[in-house]
Structure 1
């Protein structure tokens, strides 16, 4: 973990809440002037704490109304299989997130697709790309909470 002081944490909290804010506004909320705030943002980027700034979109309004969580059980745990699996995931745009897990399933994917036919196509593409021992799909009915902002402590310690 990177050692972040209170000002860094306040800057990060503001950027995670809304990265489109002017630096002057972020600086004000962090208790800095604009130039030192901008320098801290650059240091956070250089240190890899800030990995990017993006716009968040409503998946339904973009035609991606179906979210599927897919549990994958690998047939083996060799480096060759892991590499082939990672390559297959990278080539499939609907795979939004992928995690190697501890526990019952080996991998957990979050997939965004327009509908069941699109999911079926993605499923076939993935299972044709690499051998998979077991696939379990969970279809989200409602997104009840979503955030990309980590709950960093912005209170003095």
Structure 2
């Protein structure tokens, strides 16, 4: 991120906030005309700074009323287990995120399911697919803050 100038940071911030904005509005907020703004967006995409543009859905309205953070302790740390775990978690669409961690747990998963029964089915599917030493589940009661936008500095330095 340090290689991005102020204009690039403004463009990235606007797109992370709302990727449906017309180029004209993004250009105006970045202080550019439309063509140079579009070229910068294309460069940001080709360089991997911008990795995609998506619509965000409301999990409850889509039938995913239960979010669970699942801590996994691996029985071993060899490449065979890691590959099997990656395949298993990759094959379960309700597992939204998988992070390899440092500390007390080896992996942290963010899971979105309809309800407790759906989570139990997911748990059994994962446990049947790969051996797991221990599982700790944390059930979300309320989502108090949510964003996908990183806090990009849009102030002149």
Q: How would you bin the TM-score normalised by the shorter chain?
A: over 0.9
CA distance in 2, matches of 1:88, 1:128: 9
Q: Which residue pairs with 1:128 in the alignment?
A: 128
- Paired residues for 1:37-76 under 5 Å: 37-76=37-76
Gaps of at least 5 residues in structure 1 are: none
**Is the counterpart of residue 92 in structure 1 residue 92 in structure 2?**
yes
Query: How many residues are matched?
Result: 157
> Aligned-pair RMSD on alpha carbons?
0.7
CA distance in 2, matches of 1:69, 1:34: 42
Q: Which residue pairs with 2:10 in the alignment?
A: 10
CA distance in 1, matches of 2:15, 2:137: 34
List structure 1 segments (4+ residues) > 4 angstroms apart after TM superposition: none
**Is the counterpart of residue 107 in structure 1 residue 107 in structure 2?**
yes
CA distance in 1, matches of 2:67, 2:105: 19
Q: Which residue pairs with 1:139 in the alignment?
A: 139
CA distance in 2, matches of 1:10, 1:21: 13
SS of equivalent residue, structure 2 residue 61 = helix
Distance apart, 1:53 and its partner CA:
0.2
**Is the counterpart of residue 119 in structure 1 residue 119 in structure 2?**
yes
CA distance in 2, matches of 1:97, 1:123: 15
CA distance in 2, matches of 1:77, 1:147: 32
SS of equivalent residue, structure 1 residue 62 = coil
Q: Which residue pairs with 2:36 in the alignment?
A: 36
CA distance in 1, matches of 2:89, 2:55: 23
SS of equivalent residue, structure 1 residue 127 = helix
CA distance in 2, matches of 1:3, 1:153: 13
